[in-house]
Structure 1
């Protein structure tokens, strides 16, 4: 695999991604879908052999190097649950404000956390010139941002929960993603 190339595999039961590391190894992660978050501490009690067996089982029948990468990975393997942060009702008080993930955390797979934080920062930087300087300014900022932020968070949650699509969803995804990625690549090249 070429250096600096990131690969993703939407397996039948688990999402898997990998890329070469500068030291010649491979950096990778898996995103096994779960109907609900496991009890606190359950994932921490899983040993290296359990993780490998579980991931191998999830990848059974899928093409690609996941089995080899998992087997070759130095141990011990470990994992953790990701989950959505509940809606934060108020993003400010008289002395401080919160922006980015503190106000509206997205699922890591949404790849939108930094973008939302930057949008927050830009809007915050523009506030003194656009809005009067009084306590309602921060409430106005919050109302300007909340709808978009919550839409992005909701989309990220849907995306995180749909990594292992059913048979029909896999066919549709596999037909659409190459078109989307080719368009994104051409757009990036034209810049």
Structure 2
């Protein structure tokens, strides 16, 4: 049985470990952080495609126990007028409904599920280098320890050490927007109705989802120059709130009041992306999730694309005659779809208008959309 080292125990790494374990591989996870609570305050949505991937890992219950479902989207303009209110995703299936939850909660839950299934998860293992030879691949860690396997999966996110040390690949680029995240239980909004509200403001795009308990999870995307590493590290929640409020107050929407009611739980980051065409693989090393194909958060697909990666990689390794064929097949299946997402999301962040809609009035779907159900179905062969 092949031994696989997964570097990174976040969403991509833990899901990959679950998938590889289900495929019968010997897998262990090495996570740099001393625990699983990194970035607890930021929230995300897992879309229906991501929930479908989790279902194939028998992990639906782990995630539906967290956060709240989202079944519709309301769109407002800068005056607060409703432009649209439509269902989103597979709203009729409780296992496939969009899910709004904290990033750290999702990561912790998937890590815990991996450990419950007998997968080794090692915390405090900060990667410093990767060495490959004909006998395997060895990960070197800051504490002087090593781990050797037949394959190493870099699932260590946007700032991937695996990408930098093993592939010497292009590093992330700024995608044109600052992204703010916040959470408050004091916002002047009603308790949740499983709807996410998107506001097309004059100076910021804003979105908010409210849980049944009245917690408002919000984000704002603002065009402008990137913040320096020092600015990102040293700004306080009050600083971030005051950066954002003047922009939101230009419009007559609930956005400014929601942000004003938010206390310490305000984060800001630069929207970044991995350029398309960047290498994912070097012999016995493969990147997945944001380490391979991070997109700006404008489409909200980062976590879901990583969950798709996990299932399809495991199936490729299970069904291919050898590792090289499996990794080649994985890249053939995944690259068109995830790089389309990078392009679309980056265009949104930069304010670039996409090509005209099709004659039927809908934007073209991501490559692989029609085949996704079949590709993710665990019992279906990856070659058919």
Answer yes or no: same fold by TM over 0.5.
yes
TM-score by length of 2: 0.37
Give the Cα–Cα distance (whole angstroms) in 2 for the partners of residues 68 and 20 of structure 1: 14
Corresponding residue for 1:175?
Answer: none
Corresponding residue for 1:11?
Answer: 201
Aligned-pair distance for 1:81? Answer: 1.7
Corresponding residue for 1:72?
Answer: 261
Query: Which residue, 112, 116, 121 being the options, matches 2:301?
Result: 112
1:161-176 to 2 correspondence within 5 Å?
A: 161-162=350-351
Cα contact 1:92–1:98 (8 A) shared by 2:
no
Corresponding residue for 1:90?
Answer: 280
If each structure's helix is expressed as a fraction of its own residues, which one has the higher value?
1
1:28 aligns with 2:198: no
Corresponding residue for 2:108?
Answer: none
Distance 1:100 1:75, change over 3 A: closer
For this pair of structures, how many residues does the alignment match? Answer: 164
Q: Which stretch shows the higher mean deviation, 136-145 or 10-19?
A: 136-145
Give the Cα–Cα distance (whole angstroms) in 1 for the partners of residues 264 and 306 of structure 2: 34
Corresponding residue for 1:60?
Answer: 249
Distance 1:123 1:50, change over 3 A: closer
If each structure's strand is expressed as a fraction of its own residues, which one has the higher value?
2
TM-score by length of 1: 0.68
Distance 1:48 1:104, change over 3 A: closer
1:37-52 to 2 correspondence within 5 Å?
A: 37-52=226-241
Listed one character per residue, the Cα deviations across residues 101-130 of structure 1 (whole Å, up to 9, x for unaligned) are: 222112222222233334433433443576
Give the Cα–Cα distance (whole angstroms) in 2 for the partners of residues 77 and 2 of structure 1: 20
Aligned-pair distance for 1:52? Answer: 2.9
Corresponding residue for 2:55?
Answer: none
Aligned-pair distance for 1:145? Answer: 2.5
Which ranges of structure 2 fall in alignment gaps of 5 or more residues?
Answer: 1-189, 354-360, 363-384
Cα contact 2:241–2:260 (8 A) shared by 1:
yes
Distance 1:78 1:125, change over 3 A: closer
Distance 1:133 1:107, change over 3 A: same
Distance 1:133 1:37, change over 3 A: same
Q: Which stretch shows the higher mean deviation, 147-156 or 79-88?
A: 79-88
Give the Cα–Cα distance (whole angstroms) in 1 for the partners of residues 279 and 232 of structure 2: 30
Give the Cα–Cα distance (whole angstroms) in 1 for the partners of residues 199 and 242 of structure 2: 19
Give the Cα–Cα distance (whole angstroms) in 2 for the partners of residues 145 and 24 of structure 1: 38
Corresponding residue for 1:138?
Answer: 327
Give the Cα–Cα distance (whole angstroms) in 2 for the partners of residues 148 and 136 of structure 1: 19
